[in-house]
């Protein structure tokens, strides 16, 4: 007989939701983190294993999660870094030829707690209207859950890169160019796309500019990752020493850190962009791309000197891409590697290869 674990989700503003415990059991009675919602219809495993969710609890807006199971091929990192998962209905049965197991067992294996039976539409509307906030769920009583939610700082003012970056450098792929990739929480899909154009040396986030240049790279890649970009001061300082010396491509947190290194400003959004169907317009061509996005912070439009702002989100006008005017560097806020999501923006990896080759020709 299945024993139902009665859980509650309490938000830091006192809003309460009731559900049942899923995934790993909570040894201390609760899980706490900044609650965000993701609108993808598929790709839940890639979302859960994205290191950018460190410090956060993921709410899936799609009501049925887990129906096609899980497979190791879809992991974006070695383990999930999120604090928990919230769903309306976790599928009790999974069916897909690729499946190696069910999502609930996957969560238990990785010690990730979840709460199901939640009215995720009401929760999503609450976050949308009030802004992202910390929540706590579990079997603890309401005052304990509320206190935990109020005491947790969320992701604002927090540097989480050190909790997800690699401890040691490693090589991925064997392409014709050499790219050094800063690991701020890099996704496997990014490395696969980079490996199509280069041999990739993945380095810890704390690697100095001098150590990067000693590798004689053709280009430097700045990955996605979690936390407040403004708190990554040592990384921003080192990156400033690389500007103009080697071609640079940044994605998501990498875009934000590049912007800060160039003198720009970032801010925390009300509830961020988390989904796989966000429309972005290329200002240079008018072309609209449907993109995958996952960010709670953004770059303030007009704040970065010496760049052309190339892309904008059509939903809310957030800056989504830029190209440096006088040095070989560009970045985007969205995820051209998808995983999960549409493939409209994969051409950007080819543009990075072209930028590298053009810079080689100039150097020669």
Verify whether residue 337 is a known catalytic residue: yes
Which one of the listed residues 193, 295, 311, 335 is annotated catalytic? 335
By residue range, what is the domain housing residue 96?
Answer: 6-151
Confidence of residue 84 (pLDDT cuts 50, 70, 90): very high
**One domain for residues 169 and 146:** no
**One domain for residues 146 and 166:** no
Confidence of residue 164 (pLDDT cuts 50, 70, 90): very high
Verify whether residue 150 is a known catalytic residue: no
Identify the CATH number of the domain in which residue 141 sits.
Answer: 3.50.30.20
What total number of domains does the chain contain? Answer: 2
pLDDT tens sequence across 282-302? 999 999 999 999 999 999 999
- Among 125, 151, 177, the domain boundary falls at 151
**One domain for residues 182 and 305:** yes
Which one of the listed residues 34, 46, 320, 337 is annotated catalytic? 337
pLDDT of residue 362: 61
* Pair 228, 297: CB distance under 8 Å: yes
Please give the model's pTM, rounded to 2 decimal places.
0.95
Confidence of residue 29 (pLDDT cuts 50, 70, 90): confident
Instruction: Quickly list H helices, the chain.
Output: 44-48, 103-109, 120-130, 142-151, 188-195, 209-214, 233-240, 253-261, 347-363
| Cα–Cα distance measured from residue 158 to residue 209, given in angstroms and rounded to the nearest whole number | 23
Over residues 18-28, the mean pLDDT reads: 93
**One domain for residues 26 and 70:** yes
* Pair 337, 189: CB distance under 8 Å: yes
pLDDT of residue 364: 46
| Cα–Cα distance measured from residue 58 to residue 351, given in angstroms and rounded to the nearest whole number | 32
**One domain for residues 117 and 171:** no
Confidence of residue 27 (pLDDT cuts 50, 70, 90): confident
Cα–Cα nearest to 200, from 224, 164, 176: 176
Verify whether residue 252 is a known catalytic residue: yes
Q: Which two tokens stand for residue 325?
A: 């005017």
Residue position matching structure tokens 């974006």: 76
Q: How many CB atoms lie within 10 A of CB 343?
A: 12
Which one of the listed residues 76, 252, 295, 313 is annotated catalytic? 252
pLDDT tens sequence across 94-119? 999 999 999 999 999 999 999 999 99
The length of the chain in residues reads: 364
């Amino acid at each position: 007989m299945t024993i139902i674990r009665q859980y509650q989700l309490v938000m830091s503003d006192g809003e309460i939701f009731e559900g049942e415990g899923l995934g790993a059991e909570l040894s201390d009675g609760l899980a706490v983190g900044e609650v965000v919602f993701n609108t993808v219809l598929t790709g839940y495993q890639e979302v859960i294993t994205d290191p950018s969710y460190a410090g956060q609890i993921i709410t899936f807006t799609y009501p049925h999660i887990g129906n096609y199971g899980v497979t190791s091929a879809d992991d974006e990192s070695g383990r999930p870094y999120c604090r928990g998962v919230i769903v309306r209905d976790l599928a009790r049965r999974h069916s897909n030829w690729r499946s190696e197991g069910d999502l609930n067992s996957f969560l238990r294996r990785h010690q990730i707690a979840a709460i199901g039976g939640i009215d995720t539409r009401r929760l999503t509307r609450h976050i949308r209207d009030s802004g992202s906030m910390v929540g706590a769920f579990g079997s603890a009583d309401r005052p304990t859950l509320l206190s935990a939610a109020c005491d947790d700082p969320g992701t604002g003012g927090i540097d989480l890169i050190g909790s997800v970056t690699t401890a040691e450098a490693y090589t991925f792929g064997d392409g014709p160019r050499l790219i050094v990739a800063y690991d701020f929480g890099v996704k496997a899909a990014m490395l696969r796309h980079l490996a199509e154009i280069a041999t990739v040396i993945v380095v810890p986030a704390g690697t100095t500019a001098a150590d990067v240049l000693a590798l004689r790279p053709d280009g430097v890649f700045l990955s996605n990752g979690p936390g407040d970009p403004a708190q990554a001061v040592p990384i921003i300082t080192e990156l400033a020493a690389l500007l103009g010396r080697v071609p640079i491509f940044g994605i998501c947190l990498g875009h934000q850190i590049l912007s800060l290194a160039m003198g720009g400003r970032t801010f925390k959004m009300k509830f961020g962009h988390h989904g796989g169907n966000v429309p972005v317009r290329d200002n240079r061509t008018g072309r609209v791309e449907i993109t995958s996005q996952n960010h709670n912070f953004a770059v303030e439009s007009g704040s970065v000197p010496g760049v052309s702002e190339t892309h904008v989100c059509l939903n809310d006008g957030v800056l989504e891409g830029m190209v440096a005017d006088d040095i070989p560097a560009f970045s985007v806020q969205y995820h051209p590697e998808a995983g999960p999501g549409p493939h409209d923006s994969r051409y950007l990896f080819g543009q990075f290869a072209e930028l590298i080759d053009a810079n080689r020709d100039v150097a020669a």
